[in-house]
Structure formats: structure tokens, C-alpha cells
A and B are shown apart, each in its own frame.
Chain A
Amino acid sequence: MNELLQLIANGLVTGSIIAIAAIGLSLVYGILKIVNFAHGEYLVFGAYMALVVNVTWGQSLVLGALFAMIMTALLGIALEFGLWRPIRRRGAGIVSLLIVSIGLALVLRNSILLWQGGAPRRYDVDVFQVYELGPIRLSLSQIVVIVVASVVIVGIGLLLARTTLGKAMRALSDSRDLASVSGIDTDRITAYTWIVGSALAGLGGVLQGLVQNAFEPNMGFRLLLLIFAAVILGGVGSAYGALVGGLVLGLMMEVSTWSALPAGGVDSVYKPVVAFVVLILVLIFRPQGIFGRARTV
């Protein structure tokens, strides 16, 4: 039983990072029909921005995380104006946009590699203190992730549910044309979506870099398919779905290794495979996602 509680705690840590990163991907997928394979690189970009503040400039990681969110938001908005919007104006469809995002992923990842090299880096913080909360052992970094993620998830939930901006984003994700007819400035809301989604991706990158201790620029691509799995599990375009999808996926991956399961659970090296299989099964049997409404997809 203690093992299960520990796995659930670990699952919440993994899941909340995926959830934070998945919101931006899902909204952009829903609103702009961009299947953004470069989203993982937005996380890496954030992680390295925080590294610059924390290690190169010797400032606190909190400051680093804020800087990372601002810079990744700027990257997101710059790419919207400099790349995505011009390409959309040329009438590119979903397949073209997908291929462009792969090109963008290669450019971003390898620019970071060129800049920072491929060696693993770590933040200059001491978070290896382990706390025992009853039967569960969590490192300080894991606790930080859970606390930050809870605040962010509640905050994003409120933003989407209560604010005009949040409602406009959801309306746009539901139907761009209807939103436009209702007088929503779609270009402006699209820009805000990129800002919010990218800032969250930047934060997700910092949290992931913190929790896995050492990271390198390939971290983003390894997370990308997990983030996609969360997005699809929650239903493409649904920000709430992405949040829940991320948490459920994190829990599933960890709990699948529980030794009380038949055959002793999944070998822990295959945790990502569990996520990929979930991803494939959801797409086959319920492509609108666990929480999405049934409609033609």
C-alpha cells in the first residue's frame, strides 16, 4: 500500500508538469489547427533561460523561472507573428503546419545545442533534501513542483472559467468562425493564447529540469509525445481536458509499475511506452478524448 501511495505522489509530480505543458499545446491545436511538434522545444528554451539567470548570472531560480516564462512567451508571440501567421495567410493546411512545426523543432533544438552544447546541465540549487510525509518520501524539488503546479492549475482554471479572456479562448477553440461572428477579435485572442501557452511551457521546462536534476536540449522531444498523449486524452482544444489528461497520464505511468499488479507491473523503463499505448488506444477508440464531446473528428 505504501508503495502505491509513493507511486501516486510520483505520478502527481510527473502529471502536473505534463499538465502545465499540455495546456498551451492543446489550445493552439484547437484554435489554430497547429499540431505543434516544436512545443517540446519551448520547454527546453524555458529551462535554459532559467539556467542563464540561475547559473550564469547567479540569481535565484524563482527569478529564473519568471524570466523563463517571460522569454518563452516572447518566443511564442514572435513565432506567431514571424512564422505561423504569414504561413497561415498563404493558406497552409494542417499537414503543412505540422511539417513546418517539425522544421521549427529542429531549428530551435539545435540552436540551443549550438549555444549551450549537449552536456547535461543543472540548476544551482540545493533541493536534494528528502522529506518523509507519512509513508511517502518526496524530494524538495518534487514538493516545489507539486506546490507550483497546484497554484498554476487553479490559476489557469480560474482564468479560463471566469475571465473574459479565458472565455474568448475557449470560444475560439470551439469554433473560430462562431467566435469571430460574435465579435471576438480572433487575432488578438490568438496572440494571447500563444503568450499564455508559451509561458506555461517555459515554466513546465524549468520544473522538469528541476525535478530530473540534470537536463539537456533533448529533454523536450522526450516529453513531447507524453504531452501529446495528455492533450489527446483530454480532448484536443480543451484546456481543462489537458490539465486532467496530464494528471491522469502521470498517474497511469507511475501506477503501471506497481508490483502488486499482474506480472509485477510494468518494468519502469517502459513507463513512456504505457503513455504511448494509451495515446494510440484513445485515438483509435475515442478520438474526441475521454472528456471531449462526441462529434465528427
Chain B
Amino acid sequence: MSGLANVQFWAFVGVVAGIYTIFALGLQLQFGFTGLLNFGHVAFMAIGAYTMAILVVKVEWPLWLSALVAIAVSMLFGLIIGLPTVRLRADYLAITTIAFGEIIRFIAVNQQTLTGGPQGTINLTGAGRASSYNREWLDFQGWAQDQLEVILGDHATRDLTMLVLVWIVAVVLIVLLQFMVHSPWGRVLRSVREDEDATSALGKNVFSYKLQALAVGAAIGAIAGLFFAFQFSFFSPQDFDPLTTFFAYVIVLLGGTAKNWGVPVGALIFAFIFAGTRFLDFWPLSELTSADRAFLRLIVVGLILIGLMAFRPQGIFGKKEEMVLE
């Protein structure tokens, strides 16, 4: 594959970046604006994707209804995990939420009759019968592609259609979140991050605001899970290991904490590093096998995290004063 000039490559980078943008926007609200160190964010993505797939395949509900219920279920889980934990100190919250994420993943691996087990959603109706939740989505995507052809003609491919759809949702969410964080509600979130005592002295229920931030973030995480499911037509528990949450942190920290428009920038840089080491094949990358490249990619991600925290904790667009470090 001839690297940079390939349209398919750029479409892939763009779709991955779009899904990660949505995913990281939820974390931006929780961590960037409210100061909640949620390290189990991937669980909300998993709950969104799995709830939708299970409802479509097993209960035979229509896709759109299932998707809405999936978002609601994820919010509910946000509240359930948040109720006992959001009062905890930052580091304890991080450890509890990562444990929560792992519990969800363990359930997805081991409750085979519910989730299809380690092989993933293809086994949702039992082994030997490939199941798919994606038919209605593909119909919709086909319709969207027809609309796009009116504008773009032959350039409107399946990948390009997905790219447009994901980014429409991402931008709508960013605009929505911009309104929310600049509303009185958003100002309270930021004051919770800065000083909980002062906020409650002003009569605000800190606990309730934290819960709301966690639940709204959980809903956005579920939306990312839906797009993840649509894009790859199939998923398994290993797609939701804690690494995915760490990626969202890289994106939020790259773009800048408490900057919604920083998220897509961080996600694009991240997706380029990620996909780039997969598709580009000039020396010295050409010396490495694809497995080695995957390891190298994660070394780079790790170095970025360390480097950011050491030299520019506020990220590209963030303000140093808005970074929670304690």
C-alpha cells in the first residue's frame, strides 16, 4: 500500500479519529471539566456496544430503539458506579473505576450466553451460527451514501460515508458540549474541579454535579461504542481492555484539558500515529513486522504520555491553570 497518497488510508484514519473524538469527549467532560479521574471509561463504550448488539440480535428490537436504550443503560451504569465512588479522592477513584471496567470486561468474556464470550458478538446466538446486528445500519449507510453521491459523484465510497456520518455526530456533540460547559451548569462543574468546599459553600450539591458529569460522559462513551460497533460490524471483549481508556487520556491531554475543540485535534494526531505506523512502510518502519509495529506504536503512545506530563501537562490548547494536578 503506497502510504500517504492512499485515500482509503486517510478515510480509515479519519473514521478512527472520529470515533475516538466522541469517546474522549465524554472523558473531557468528566476529567477535563469536572476533575473526575475516571479510568474505567472504556466500560461505557462496552456497555453501549453490547447492549445495542444484544437487543438487536436476541430481543430483535429495531436498531434505533436498541441504540437509544443502550445509551440509557450506559448512563444508568454511570450512576450506579458513581453513587458510591465519586466522593473518593482522585487516585482512589482511578483505581475503583479501572476495577469496574475490568469487571465489565470479565463479564463480557465469561457470560457466554449473554455476550457471545471471548469470540465476541459473532457468537451472540451460540456457536456455529454467525450473528450480526448490523443489517439496519448498513441499509442506513447505503441510503446516506446515495445522498452523498448527489454531491460527490463517484467519490462517495462506503468509507467516506462513514467518515461523514461519524464526524457529523462528533461536531454536533462538540457544539452541544460547548453550550453545556458555558452554561451555569458547566461553570459549577469547573468550580467543583477547582474547589469542592467553596462550591458546596455556595449551596451547590457537589455530589450531584459529579454524578451528572459522570452519567453524561457515560452516555457519550456509549455513542462512541455504537459507532465502534457499526464500523467494525463485529467486536469482542478484548476491544474494551483498559488500554482504550488510556488512549482517551492521551487524546484529552494532547488536545488540552477543558478544551472541547482540542479533542478532535488530539484524536487526529493520535489516529495518525496509530494508523500511520500500520500503513506507512518507508525505512526504518519497513524493517519491522506488523506485530513489532504494534508494540512500537504503544511505546510511542507511552512516551507521549510521559512527555506531555513532564513538559506540557496542559496539552496543545489547554491553559495551565485549568489542569487538575492534585
Contact = CB atoms under 8 A, between A and B. Distances in A.
A286 B110 CA distance: 30
Given A225-B98, A269-B110, A287-B92, A107 B302 contact: yes
Interface in A250-297: 267, 269-270, 272-273, 276-277, 279-280, 283-284, 287, 297
A26 B299 CA distance: 26
Given A102-B249, A103-B302, A273 B103 contact: yes
A269 B107 CA distance: 10
Contacts of B84: 280, 284
Interface stretch (A44-52, A108-116, A153-161, A196-204): A108-116
A86 B326 CA distance: 17
B172 interface: no
Given A102-B246, A102-B249, A110-B296, A94 B302 contact: no
Interface string B302-318: 11111001100100000
B94 A35 contact: yes
A99 B310 contact: no
Range of interface residues on chain A?
Answer: 35 or more
A273 B106 contact: yes
A104 B302 contact: yes
B249 to A, nearest CB: 6
A151 interface: no
B301 A106 contact: yes
B305 A35 contact: no
A284 B88 contact: yes
Contacts of B139: none
Contacts, number: 128
B292 interface: yes
B305 A100 contact: yes
Contact of A92 (B110, B249, B299, B309): B309
A83 B109 CA distance: 37
Contacts of A270: 106, 110
Contacts of A86: 310
Interface string B83-97: 011001111101110
Nearest to A99: B309
B209 interface: no
Interface string B17-49: 000000000000000000001000000000000
B326 A103 contact: no
Nearest to A117: B291
A272 B85 contact: no
Contacts of A277: 103
Nearest to B307: A103
A109 B298 CA distance: 9
B102 A83 contact: no
A98 B94 contact: yes
Nearest to B303: A107
A99 B324 contact: no
A270 B90 CA distance: 27
A279 B96 contact: yes
Interface residues of B, number: 43
A228 interface: yes
B54 interface: no
A229 B102 CA distance: 13
A96 B313 contact: yes
A8 interface: no
A62 B174 CA distance: 58
B325 A279 contact: no
A278 to B, nearest CB: 10
A8 B103 CA distance: 24
A120 to B, nearest CB: 15
A104 to B, nearest CB: 6
A138 interface: no
Interface of B: 37, 84-85, 88-92, 94-96, 98-100, 102-103, 106-107, 109-110, 242-243, 246, 249, 253, 291-292, 295-296, 298-299, 301-306, 309-310, 313, 324-326
27 contacts: A83-B306, A92-B325, A95-B91, A95-B326, A96-B309, A99-B249, A100-B309, A103-B301, A103-B302, A106-B299, A107-B306, A109-B298, A110-B296, A111-B299, A113-B295, A114-B296, A117-B291, A118-B291, A225-B98, A225-B102, A229-B99, A267-B110, A269-B109, A269-B110, A273-B106, A280-B84, A284-B88
